Structure 1
Protein backbone atom coordinates (compact mmCIF):
# COMPACT_ATOMS: atom_id res chain seq x y z
CA UNK A 1 0.00 0.00 0.00
CA UNK A 2 1.15 3.48 -0.79
CA UNK A 3 0.26 7.06 0.17
CA UNK A 4 1.16 9.93 -2.16
CA UNK A 5 1.03 13.47 -0.82
CA UNK A 6 0.65 16.26 -3.40
CA UNK A 7 1.83 19.62 -2.03
CA UNK A 8 0.15 22.53 -3.79
CA UNK A 9 2.69 25.08 -4.97
CA UNK A 10 1.69 26.27 -8.48
CA UNK A 11 -0.49 29.40 -8.63
CA UNK A 12 -3.26 27.70 -10.65
CA UNK A 13 -3.66 25.04 -7.95
CA UNK A 14 -3.33 27.60 -5.12
CA UNK A 15 -6.24 29.54 -6.63
CA UNK A 16 -8.36 26.41 -7.22
CA UNK A 17 -7.12 23.32 -5.31
CA UNK A 18 -9.80 21.10 -6.87
CA UNK A 19 -8.09 21.61 -10.26
CA UNK A 20 -5.32 19.38 -8.94
CA UNK A 21 -7.94 16.74 -8.10
CA UNK A 22 -9.22 16.94 -11.70
CA UNK A 23 -5.70 16.58 -13.10
CA UNK A 24 -5.01 13.56 -10.86
CA UNK A 25 -8.32 12.00 -11.95
CA UNK A 26 -7.39 12.56 -15.61
CA UNK A 27 -4.02 10.84 -15.03
CA UNK A 28 -5.72 7.91 -13.28
CA UNK A 29 -8.15 7.53 -16.19
CA UNK A 30 -5.26 7.59 -18.70
CA UNK A 31 -3.61 4.81 -16.66
CA UNK A 32 -6.83 2.78 -16.64
CA UNK A 33 -7.30 3.09 -12.86
CA UNK A 34 -10.82 3.78 -11.56
CA UNK A 35 -10.67 6.30 -8.70
CA UNK A 36 -12.78 7.00 -5.65
CA UNK A 37 -12.71 10.61 -4.45
CA UNK A 38 -13.71 11.04 -0.81
CA UNK A 39 -15.21 14.54 -0.74
CA UNK A 40 -15.34 16.53 2.50
CA UNK A 41 -19.06 17.29 2.07
CA UNK A 42 -21.81 17.38 -0.55
CA UNK A 43 -21.00 20.99 -1.49
CA UNK A 44 -17.41 20.00 -2.32
CA UNK A 45 -18.64 16.92 -4.23
CA UNK A 46 -20.92 19.14 -6.34
CA UNK A 47 -18.16 21.70 -6.91
CA UNK A 48 -15.79 18.95 -8.05
CA UNK A 49 -18.50 17.45 -10.27
CA UNK A 50 -18.97 20.82 -12.00
CA UNK A 51 -15.24 21.39 -12.36
CA UNK A 52 -14.69 17.94 -13.93
CA UNK A 53 -16.86 19.07 -16.86
CA UNK A 54 -14.92 22.27 -17.53
CA UNK A 55 -11.31 22.04 -16.27
CA UNK A 56 -9.90 20.82 -19.60
CA UNK A 57 -11.85 21.42 -22.83
CA UNK A 58 -9.95 18.55 -24.51
CA UNK A 59 -10.52 15.97 -21.76
CA UNK A 60 -13.52 13.95 -20.74
CA UNK A 61 -13.29 12.26 -17.35
CA UNK A 62 -16.33 10.01 -16.77
CA UNK A 63 -17.43 10.80 -13.23
CA UNK A 64 -20.44 10.74 -10.95
CA UNK A 65 -21.43 11.71 -7.43
CA UNK A 66 -22.22 8.54 -5.48
CA UNK A 67 -25.94 8.24 -4.87
CA UNK A 68 -26.82 10.98 -7.35
CA UNK A 69 -27.58 8.77 -10.35
CA UNK A 70 -30.87 7.17 -9.37
CA UNK A 71 -33.51 6.83 -12.04
CA UNK A 72 -37.28 6.43 -11.65
CA UNK A 73 -37.00 2.70 -10.91
CA UNK A 74 -34.38 3.22 -8.20
CA UNK A 75 -31.53 1.85 -10.29
CA UNK A 76 -28.21 3.48 -9.63
CA UNK A 77 -27.62 4.29 -13.28
CA UNK A 78 -24.32 2.44 -13.44
CA UNK A 79 -22.71 4.17 -10.48
CA UNK A 80 -20.16 1.39 -10.12
CA UNK A 81 -19.16 1.95 -13.75
CA UNK A 82 -18.09 5.61 -13.35
CA UNK A 83 -14.32 5.89 -13.76
CA UNK A 84 -14.23 8.57 -11.09
CA UNK A 85 -16.74 8.18 -8.28
CA UNK A 86 -17.09 11.21 -6.01
CA UNK A 87 -18.34 10.19 -2.57
CA UNK A 88 -19.71 12.69 -0.04
CA UNK A 89 -19.59 11.43 3.58
CA UNK A 90 -23.24 10.31 3.54
CA UNK A 91 -22.60 7.93 0.60
CA UNK A 92 -21.75 4.41 1.68
CA UNK A 93 -19.49 3.14 -1.10
CA UNK A 94 -16.75 0.52 -1.07
CA UNK A 95 -13.15 1.67 -1.40
CA UNK A 96 -11.44 1.27 -4.74
CA UNK A 97 -7.76 0.37 -5.14
CA UNK A 98 -7.07 4.07 -5.88
CA UNK A 99 -8.56 6.59 -3.42
CA UNK A 100 -8.15 10.37 -3.39
CA UNK A 101 -8.89 11.69 0.09
CA UNK A 102 -10.19 15.23 0.64
CA UNK A 103 -11.60 14.50 4.10
CA UNK A 104 -10.12 15.41 7.46
CA UNK A 105 -9.14 11.89 8.55
CA UNK A 106 -6.83 9.22 7.16
CA UNK A 107 -8.48 6.57 4.97
CA UNK A 108 -9.18 3.34 6.81
CA UNK A 109 -9.71 0.03 5.06
CA UNK A 110 -8.23 -1.79 2.09
CA UNK A 111 -6.81 0.13 -0.86
CA UNK A 112 -3.63 -0.03 -2.93
CA UNK A 113 -2.90 3.69 -3.11
CA UNK A 114 -4.25 6.80 -1.45
CA UNK A 115 -3.68 10.33 -2.75
CA UNK A 116 -3.71 13.25 -0.31
CA UNK A 117 -3.84 16.88 -1.48
CA UNK A 118 -1.84 19.19 0.81
CA UNK A 119 -3.03 22.82 0.86
CA UNK A 120 -0.63 25.66 0.06
CA UNK A 121 -1.59 27.40 3.32
CA UNK A 122 1.00 26.37 5.91
CA UNK A 123 -1.52 26.71 8.75
CA UNK A 124 -3.75 24.07 7.11
CA UNK A 125 -0.99 21.48 6.75
CA UNK A 126 -1.03 20.21 10.37
CA UNK A 127 -3.69 17.50 9.83
CA UNK A 128 -1.83 16.26 6.74
CA UNK A 129 1.38 15.89 8.74
CA UNK A 130 -0.59 13.83 11.23
CA UNK A 131 -1.94 11.66 8.39
CA UNK A 132 1.60 11.16 7.08
CA UNK A 133 2.54 9.81 10.54
CA UNK A 134 -0.57 7.59 10.67
CA UNK A 135 0.07 6.08 7.23
CA UNK A 136 3.76 5.57 8.09
CA UNK A 137 2.78 3.75 11.30
CA UNK A 138 0.54 1.46 9.21
CA UNK A 139 3.51 0.56 7.02
CA UNK A 140 2.49 2.41 3.85
CA UNK A 141 5.16 3.48 1.36
CA UNK A 142 5.07 7.31 1.45
CA UNK A 143 5.89 9.71 -1.38
CA UNK A 144 5.69 13.50 -1.66
CA UNK A 145 5.25 15.56 -4.82
CA UNK A 146 5.42 19.33 -5.25
CA UNK A 147 2.61 20.47 -7.53
Structure 2
Protein backbone atom coordinates (compact mmCIF):
# COMPACT_ATOMS: atom_id res chain seq x y z
CA UNK A 1 0.00 0.00 0.00
CA UNK A 2 1.38 3.47 -0.87
CA UNK A 3 2.32 5.72 2.04
CA UNK A 4 2.20 9.43 2.76
CA UNK A 5 4.58 10.67 5.46
CA UNK A 6 4.20 14.17 6.86
CA UNK A 7 7.36 15.63 8.44
CA UNK A 8 6.65 18.43 10.93
CA UNK A 9 9.51 20.87 11.28
CA UNK A 10 10.37 21.16 14.97
CA UNK A 11 14.17 21.35 15.39
CA UNK A 12 15.79 24.77 15.31
CA UNK A 13 18.19 23.91 12.46
CA UNK A 14 15.25 22.91 10.25
CA UNK A 15 13.20 25.94 11.33
CA UNK A 16 16.06 28.18 10.21
CA UNK A 17 16.51 26.28 6.92
CA UNK A 18 13.50 24.10 6.06
CA UNK A 19 15.18 22.94 2.85
CA UNK A 20 17.89 21.26 4.98
CA UNK A 21 15.20 18.81 6.05
CA UNK A 22 14.39 18.13 2.40
CA UNK A 23 18.08 17.36 1.77
CA UNK A 24 18.22 15.12 4.84
CA UNK A 25 15.18 13.17 3.58
CA UNK A 26 16.79 12.90 0.12
CA UNK A 27 20.00 11.59 1.71
CA UNK A 28 18.13 8.93 3.68
CA UNK A 29 16.27 7.89 0.53
CA UNK A 30 19.52 7.69 -1.42
CA UNK A 31 21.16 5.63 1.35
CA UNK A 32 18.18 3.25 1.15
CA UNK A 33 18.57 2.97 -2.65
CA UNK A 34 15.29 4.75 -3.42
CA UNK A 35 15.02 6.81 -6.61
CA UNK A 36 13.60 10.13 -5.53
CA UNK A 37 11.76 12.99 -7.19
CA UNK A 38 11.66 16.35 -5.40
CA UNK A 39 8.75 18.50 -6.57
CA UNK A 40 10.03 22.03 -5.96
CA UNK A 41 7.63 24.95 -5.54
CA UNK A 42 9.44 26.99 -8.23
CA UNK A 43 12.68 27.17 -10.21
CA UNK A 44 14.44 29.24 -7.52
CA UNK A 45 13.65 26.62 -4.86
CA UNK A 46 14.90 23.87 -7.20
CA UNK A 47 18.22 25.75 -7.50
CA UNK A 48 18.43 26.17 -3.70
CA UNK A 49 17.91 22.45 -3.12
CA UNK A 50 20.48 21.67 -5.81
CA UNK A 51 23.02 23.93 -4.04
CA UNK A 52 22.24 22.49 -0.59
CA UNK A 53 22.67 18.91 -1.83
CA UNK A 54 26.24 19.80 -2.83
CA UNK A 55 26.76 21.15 0.68
CA UNK A 56 25.92 18.08 2.81
CA UNK A 57 29.46 17.61 4.16
CA UNK A 58 32.68 16.14 2.77
CA UNK A 59 31.65 12.51 3.31
CA UNK A 60 28.26 12.82 1.61
CA UNK A 61 27.68 12.67 -2.12
CA UNK A 62 24.14 12.43 -3.42
CA UNK A 63 23.91 12.16 -7.22
CA UNK A 64 21.26 14.70 -8.14
CA UNK A 65 20.12 16.88 -11.01
CA UNK A 66 17.55 19.50 -11.80
CA UNK A 67 15.08 18.02 -14.29
CA UNK A 68 15.33 19.48 -17.76
CA UNK A 69 16.58 18.85 -21.27
CA UNK A 70 20.02 17.39 -20.49
CA UNK A 71 19.03 14.94 -17.83
CA UNK A 72 20.95 11.75 -17.25
CA UNK A 73 18.30 9.59 -15.55
CA UNK A 74 20.86 6.97 -14.57
CA UNK A 75 23.12 9.46 -12.81
CA UNK A 76 20.44 11.40 -10.94
CA UNK A 77 19.31 9.29 -7.98
CA UNK A 78 17.60 12.47 -6.80
CA UNK A 79 15.75 14.45 -9.45
CA UNK A 80 14.59 17.98 -8.61
CA UNK A 81 11.70 19.29 -10.70
CA UNK A 82 10.33 22.82 -11.00
CA UNK A 83 6.61 23.07 -11.88
CA UNK A 84 7.27 23.90 -15.55
CA UNK A 85 9.11 20.60 -16.11
CA UNK A 86 7.19 17.40 -16.72
CA UNK A 87 9.22 14.86 -14.74
CA UNK A 88 8.08 11.25 -14.41
CA UNK A 89 7.13 10.15 -10.90
CA UNK A 90 9.56 7.96 -8.99
CA UNK A 91 8.96 5.45 -6.19
CA UNK A 92 9.65 8.19 -3.61
CA UNK A 93 8.32 11.73 -4.08
CA UNK A 94 9.18 14.66 -1.80
CA UNK A 95 6.42 17.20 -2.38
CA UNK A 96 7.00 20.92 -1.70
CA UNK A 97 4.08 22.15 -3.81
CA UNK A 98 0.59 23.13 -2.72
CA UNK A 99 -1.31 20.26 -4.33
CA UNK A 100 -1.36 16.59 -3.37
CA UNK A 101 0.71 14.36 -5.67
CA UNK A 102 -1.39 12.52 -8.23
CA UNK A 103 -0.32 9.34 -9.97
CA UNK A 104 1.55 6.22 -8.96
CA UNK A 105 4.29 6.15 -6.33
CA UNK A 106 5.28 4.02 -3.35
CA UNK A 107 5.74 6.84 -0.89
CA UNK A 108 5.23 10.59 -0.75
CA UNK A 109 6.93 12.84 1.81
CA UNK A 110 5.30 16.14 2.72
CA UNK A 111 7.28 18.76 4.67
CA UNK A 112 5.04 20.64 7.12
CA UNK A 113 6.11 24.23 7.91
CA UNK A 114 6.89 25.19 11.53
CA UNK A 115 4.38 28.07 11.27
CA UNK A 116 0.92 26.76 12.28
CA UNK A 117 -0.67 29.42 10.03
CA UNK A 118 0.88 27.74 6.97
CA UNK A 119 -0.39 24.25 7.76
CA UNK A 120 -3.92 24.52 6.32
CA UNK A 121 -3.13 23.11 2.86
CA UNK A 122 -1.29 20.18 4.47
CA UNK A 123 -4.30 19.20 6.58
CA UNK A 124 -6.27 19.17 3.34
CA UNK A 125 -3.65 16.96 1.66
CA UNK A 126 -3.65 14.58 4.64
CA UNK A 127 -7.40 14.07 4.08
CA UNK A 128 -6.92 13.65 0.31
CA UNK A 129 -4.25 10.97 0.73
CA UNK A 130 -6.37 9.18 3.35
CA UNK A 131 -9.38 9.26 1.02
CA UNK A 132 -7.22 7.65 -1.70
CA UNK A 133 -6.39 4.79 0.66
CA UNK A 134 -2.79 5.73 1.45
CA UNK A 135 -1.26 4.80 4.79
CA UNK A 136 -0.73 8.27 6.35
CA UNK A 137 1.88 8.96 9.06
CA UNK A 138 3.28 11.95 10.92
CA UNK A 139 6.87 12.48 12.12
CA UNK A 140 8.28 15.34 14.22
CA UNK A 141 11.66 16.50 12.90
With the shorter chain as reference, the TM-score category is over 0.9
Query: What pairs with 1:5-24 in structure 2 (closer than 5 Å)?
Result: 5-24=6-25
1:58 corresponds to 2:59: yes
- For structure 2, the residue ranges without an aligned partner over 5 or more in a row are none
1:73 aligned partner: none
- Correspondence for 2:126 among 132, 136, 141: 132
1:110 corresponds to 2:111: no
Deviation at 1:93, TM superposition (A): 1.2
Deviation at 1:58, TM superposition (A): 2.0
**CA RMSD for the aligned pairs?**
1.0
User: What is the TM-score when the length of structure 2 is the normalising length?
Assistant: 0.96
Deviation at 1:132, TM superposition (A): 0.2
Q: Give the greater-gyration-radius structure (CA).
A: 1
Distance 1:143 1:61 in 2: 26
Distance 2:84 2:52 in 1: 21
Contact 2:7–2:110 at 8 Å: present in 1 too? yes
User: What is the TM-score when the length of structure 1 is the normalising length?
Assistant: 0.92
Deviation at 1:56, TM superposition (A): 2.6
4+ residue runs over 4 A deviation: none
